[in-house]
Amino acid sequence: MTETTRRTGGHEYEHPQGTPAPPYAAPHAADVHPEWPPPPAHAPTAGTGRRRKRPGGPVTLLAAVALVAAAVGGGTAYAFQQLTGHDTTATDTATPVVAAGKKGDVANIAAALTPSVVEVNATLASGSSTGSGVIVSSAGEIVTNNHVVSGASSVKVRTSDGTSRTARVVGTDSSKDLALLRVEGASGLKAAPLGTSSGVQVGDTVVAIGSPEGLTSTVTSGIVSALDRDVTVSTDEGRSGQGQGGDEQWPFQFGGREFNGDTGSSTTTYKAIQTDASLNPGNSGGALIDASGRVIGINSAMYSSGSQAASSTDAGSIGLGFAIPVDTVKADLAKLRAGSTS
C-alpha cells in the first residue's frame, strides 16, 4: 500500500419570453463541456404534413432535447444534463482529454489531469494517514483506497490549487480496497475521465499522479509492466493505515511473499495492473492514466526495499507498483454511493 502515515506526536439555453421553443435547439458551443463530442451539425429534418403549433416553455424544450439525446447521445446528452442541473460525472464519458497529436505527451496529460487528483489527509486514533484521491464528479465525489481512510475520525482533501476542504466517507469496500468520499458543499470540481482497463496492454505508456510523502500533484510516468497480478492487502481496520516497524511502508502480499511487513490474517486479493511508474507512500488512491488522458486505475500498492536499517540508496520506489483496474472501480461505484461500508 502506498499512503503515508504520521503517528501522533511527531449556463442553460433560454428562449425569449413568450417565444415557442423549436423542436430541436442545439446548445451554444461554449456551453458544451470539452470532454463531450460536439452536437449534431444539423437539426433533425422536419416531417411532412400540417404543422401544428406547439406550446413553448422549458418542459417542451427538455422533452425535445431528451428525445434527441436518446438517439444521438454525446454532446446532446450533456446539454440535457446541463438543462436539468445534474452534476457532471466522470463515468458519463471516456472521451480522451489529450489531443491525438499530443497522445502520450506527459506534460499535456499532467496539465489535463492534475486538477482532478487530490491529496487525502485522514485523522486516525493513532495519528494520521496521507494518501491521494481521484475526483469522479463535479459535486465532489472522490475515489480513494479504503486503507487510506479506514478508521478515520475526520478527513480533509487538498486540491491542486492548494485549497483544503472537509470530506466525509460515503462508502467503503475493503474487499476491493476502495472508498468513496464526498467534499461537503463542493461544486464545479473537475472530474477525471474514467477510461476502461479491459483494453490495456503490457507496454502501454502510463502516467501516475498523487501525493507521495505529502508532495501534492507529483507526476511520474512509465509503462504497464503486467496485467492481472494477484495482490493481497489487509482488510483489518486496526492494521490498515498503520506502518509496520515504523518504516511507513504499507504491507501487501504478491507471488506468495509478503512485502513491507505483515498483512495480518484478515486480507483480500484483487487483480491489479502492474506498473513501473514510480509510486511512493502517499500515492495510494491516486490516478494511473493512459496515453489519451483517461484514468485506467487507482494506484494502491508499491514495493520498497527501504527499512529502518537500510541505507537511503536502498529506500523508495524500485518500479514495482500496482493499481486497481478502473473497470473494477466503475462496477463498485453504485455500491459505494449507496453508503455500503463492507
Between CA 86 and CA 78 the distance in angstroms is: 10
Report d(CA 179, CA 285) in Å as an integer. 9
Which entry of 138, 221, 225, 284 is annotated as an active-site residue? 284
Is 223 within 8 Å of 274 (Cβ atoms)? no
**Active site includes 284?**
yes
Residue (of 257, 263, 258) closest to 240 by Cα position: 263
- Does residue 307 have an active-site annotation? no
Give the Å distances, CA to CA, from 283 to 2, 68, 131, 309: 5, 42, 6, 23
C-alpha distances out from residue 203 to 95, 135, 273, Å: 22, 26, 12
Cell 504499507, residue?
250
Catalytic residue among 177, 290, 327, 332: 177
Q: Which of 200, 219, 197 has the alpha carbon at shortest distance from 209?
A: 219
Angle of the 74-84 helix axis to the 58-72 helix axis, nearest 10: 150
Location of C-alpha cell 502492474? 274
Joined together, the cell numbers standing for residue 85 give: 442541473
CA R_g for the chain: 23
CA atoms of 293 and 102, how far apart (whole Å): 10
147 classed as catalytic: yes
Nearest to 118 by CA among 160, 149, 162, 150: 160
Residues 6+ apart with CB under 8 A from 125: 151, 153
- 146 near 179, Cβ under 8 Å? yes
Residue 112 backbone dihedrals phi, psi, to 5 degrees: -75, -35
Cα 118 to Cα 97: distance, rounded to the nearest angstrom: 19
> Which residues are identified as catalytic?
147, 177, 284
